[in-house]
Chain A
Amino acid sequence: MNSNHSITDLAMSYKRKIDREKMRILVCAGTGCVSSGSLKIYEAMKKLLIEKDLYIDIDLNKEEGINVSPSGCHGFCEMGPIVMIMPQKYFYVKVKVEDAEEIVEKASRGEIVERLLYKEPGKGLIHFSYENIPFYSKQKRVVLENCGKINPENIKEYIANGGYSALSKIFELSPEEICQEVITAKLRGRGGGGFPAGEKWFQVYNQKSDIKYVVCNGDEGDPGAFMDRSIMEGDPHRVIEGMIIAGYASGARQGYIYVRAEYPLAVKRLKTAIMQARDFGILGTDILGSNFNFDIKINKGAGAFVCGEGSALTSSIEGNRGMPRTRPPRTSEKGLFGKPTVLNNVETFANVPLIILNGAHWYLKLGTENSPGTKAFALTGNINNTGLIEVPMGTTLREIIYDIGGGIPENKSFKAVQIGGPSGGCLTPEHLDTPLDFDSLDNLGAMIGSGGMVVLDEKTCMVEVARFFMNFTQKESCGKCVPCREGTKVMLNIMEKIVKGQGTIEDISLLEEVAEVVKRGSLCGLGKTAPNPVLTTLQYFRDEYMAHVKYHMCPAGQCEAFKKYRIEDSACKGCGKCAKVCPTGAISGELKKAFMINTESCIKCGACVTACPFNAIKEEA
């Protein structure tokens, strides 16, 4: 390809090819739906369409037909496998391979398979179009626009949908102008830090060095987060396009994508995308005839959470242990292989083509003043609609949990949302109406982090949740600096003591003291933010901690140590079955009279509860 205009020409010709499709059946091929068997459904439908001589795709020479295509994640993983019919927007959920024939049959006649449509739980409302489903109607899918719409394994579909047209625009501008556009758009790093991406690029641009790098952080390690995975799987070209633009703006010629090993599908799709981009002259030398050279290499992580931290990640790409180093110098001055490096995460790069194509002023209209744009969140935990969502910055927690998420299952009440993973904190019912953006969350002691949102209901013990995260960060501490290595261990020990019912009031003040040291003294973000889950739960749920240490009870009734089993005299018939199964001999009594549990020797295994034919054994928190 030799001229900047050719992407526009290509887009038009591919668009015409796609327009020959009378109908497009999209089968979700994200990790979630694939695990529920979606690829088998796709293959079955494709076979049927070919048999009927109806099948068409972008590469086939045919007048018209029906296309069936695998697509990126639709986000509504809970309802998978998902099949969507376009342009009618029919949205089929929990599809099985046996349904393939009926879907194809009816689709070819333009009919709908009503039994597969999404029904709103509780209300029984049936939605014909996916746009009316509350899970989607409140979202604004800009970055995830293509996820679920195009075939991520075909570059032509990306181009037909406006892909790489931002790239074809940049060569008319100078690198400074690109940096300035991104600075004006106030694009902030989606990986958690919220640092302005454009400023980072400009810093790298200003470094005097013949070699510079662009690194994409796809090491999405926060438990409860899968936004970046979905973008890499569902729209890999968008990430590549963002990286090339960053390369041009900063003066880098080589890019690296660091993907965690747990995401094999993302690695596969990215590899395919890179090969196709090279074939199209979009990666490699003389990109689109511009004299600009840029290529991308993929590095697979090997399982270390700390590698999400900039300097640890670059150290890992260099083939070393993934340990962070002291800063300054910053990554933008001395990053990968000691060279100036632009390091952003997947979602940040995916925002870039939009800004270049539509302009910073368009972008500024989305979201809040200081956090423009949208944010993808992974909504999980005790919530009706789990999945991947995208909303404008500034959306409230209430809208996310109740409108999009459909509320808490089993009519339980909402207790908290843990946001930002092990570095983040908890938000409570009092924060339901706070607009979520980088700064508002920071003020509340939490952080957007990468965007994992785990909803917790009334039956969740917040002390146990904090212990869970402490255990996580303690295990993942790389051990280089003392405050993190030793401090997280001390904190974890205290948390375990409390959860086991051996904590004291003094432990809580010690916990706060150590937390402060870890927070201030640690070398990298992992350690600096490790105390956050403990500190925010202490801030908002101090009563629960107090109940554990002072009254030896767990208000949520979750902590094993505080559980007590009691035999109800009136219900016990004295059959002795419980005493037989008790592994510690803690149950005693005379036959035909009510039995007793010796709480001292009871290990709370619950075996007696299952064994009792009369439901006489009760569990008490």
Chain B
Amino acid sequence: MSDIKSLNRNFLKVNEIIEAHHSDPSELISILQEVQEEYRYLPEEILNYIAMAVHISPSKVFGVATFYENFSLAPKGKYIIRICDGTACHVRKSTELIVALRKKLGLTENKDTTDDLLFTLQTVSCIGACGLAPAIMINEEVHGKVTPEKAEMILEEIIKRERVNNEQ
């Protein structure tokens, strides 16, 4: 069963992360960040596991994991699109981008991840690229002066790239 194999491999990774932070409870946020990088979200069983490993209550771990916006308890897409809706982007029409991209990906305010787990669409308050408003961030890459058309092109490119990767 390859599933169990991969689960074991990932638990190993969680252990590595916890050890790298010396099982220190004050490092909880960094641990969660790294675990989320590995899984793209924070699976419940792993939160419990972390609580045990760093000797704090699961409620504390859940408390932290649900407090911060960047943590997600549900699976996220491979590409996280953050549409900036800060003041500068807002006055330069970021709302149009949100509407266009939601439509393109078939998402709504309550459904932010595509079924194929390729994209997650979020709005964020400011990514600090105000000089290039409206801006979006795809994973760690910032794109400035984005129009709905430009955004759709960027997504098309990603989709194409992914298709090629899958075929290989």
Contacts and interface: CB of A to CB of B under 8 A. Distances in A.
B65 to A, nearest CB: 9
B70 A261 contact: yes
B5 to A, nearest CB: 30
A221 B125 contact: yes
A34 B143 CA distance: 9
B25 A319 contact: yes
B130 interface: yes
Interface stretch (A42-50, A167-175, A182-190, A223-231): A223-231
A222 B126 contact: yes
Contacts of A31: 128-129, 142
Contact of B29 (A229, A302, A337, A460): A302
A223 B126 contact: yes
A217 to B, nearest CB: 15
B130 A226 contact: yes
A386 interface: yes
Contacts of A99: none
Contact of A78 (B68, B82, B131): B131
A223 B126 CA distance: 5
Given A302-B71, A319-B64, A35 B91 contact: no
A456 to B, nearest CB: 7
Contact of B28 (A35, A76, A80, A319): A319
Contacts of A418: 87
B131 A262 contact: no
Interface in B9-31: 24-30
Contact of B142 (A34, A225, A382, A421): A34
A454 to B, nearest CB: 5
B69 A224 contact: no
B135 A35 contact: yes
Given A35-B144, A299-B29, A322-B68, A380 B131 contact: yes
B68 A380 contact: no
Contacts of B87: 223-224, 380-381, 418, 421, 452, 454, 465, 468-469
A272 to B, nearest CB: 16
A319 B131 contact: no
A3 interface: no
Interface in B127-154: 127-133, 135, 137, 140-144
B140 to A, nearest CB: 5
B128 A262 contact: yes
Nearest to A479: B67
A22 interface: no
A76, A318, A337 — most chain B CB neighbours (10 Å): A318
Given A381-B88, A460-B91, A386 B131 contact: yes
Interface string A212-241: 000000001111111001000000000000
B131 A32 contact: yes
A333 B29 CA distance: 25
Contacts of A476: 125
B90 interface: yes
Contacts, number: 142
Interface string B46-72: 000000000000001001100111110
A317 B25 CA distance: 11
A468 B91 CA distance: 10
Nearest to A456: B91
Contacts of A316: 29
A386 B133 contact: yes
A304 B124 CA distance: 11
A31, A222, A299 — most chain B CB neighbours (10 Å): A31
A321 B67 contact: yes
Given A302-B33, A456-B91, A468-B87, A225 B130 contact: yes
Contacts of A77: 129-132, 144
Interface in A447-497: 452, 454, 456, 460, 465, 468-469, 472, 476, 478
Nearest to B64: A321
Nearest to A298: B30
Given A36-B132, A322-B67, A386 B88 contact: yes
Contacts of B91: 381-382, 454, 456, 460
Nearest to A267: B140
Contacts of A78: 131-132
A378 interface: yes
A387 interface: yes
A263 interface: yes
A220, A222, A337, A460 — most chain B CB neighbours (10 Å): A222
Interface in A155-197: none
B32 interface: yes
A303 interface: yes
Interface in A285-310: 299-305
Given A302-B32, A319-B29, A35 B129 contact: yes
A388 interface: yes
A32 B144 contact: yes
A443 interface: no
B115 to A, nearest CB: 25
A238 B16 CA distance: 34
A31 B86 CA distance: 16
Nearest to A36: B144
A223 B87 CA distance: 6
Contacts of A303: 68-71, 124
A178 B124 CA distance: 40
Contacts of A323: 67
Contacts of B130: 77, 224-226, 378, 380, 386, 452, 454
Contacts of B133: 380-381, 386
Contacts of A411: none
A320 interface: yes
A264 interface: yes
Contacts of A80: 131-132
Contacts of B85: 223
A429 B100 CA distance: 35
Contacts of B143: 35
Given A300-B29, A302-B71, A322-B68, 4 more contacts: A32-B144, A224-B130, A319-B27, A469-B87
12 contacts: A32-B132, A32-B142, A77-B144, A224-B86, A224-B126, A225-B128, A226-B126, A299-B29, A302-B33, A319-B28, A323-B67, A460-B91
Interface of B: 24-30, 32-33, 60, 63-64, 67-71, 82, 85-88, 90-92, 124-133, 135, 137, 140-144
Interface of A: 31-32, 34-36, 76-78, 80, 220-226, 229, 261-264, 299-305, 316-323, 337, 378, 380-382, 386-388, 418, 421, 452, 454, 456, 460, 465, 468-469, 472, 476, 478
- Sorted nearest first, the 4 A-B pairs with minimum C-beta distance are A77-B131, A223-B86, A303-B69, A302-B68
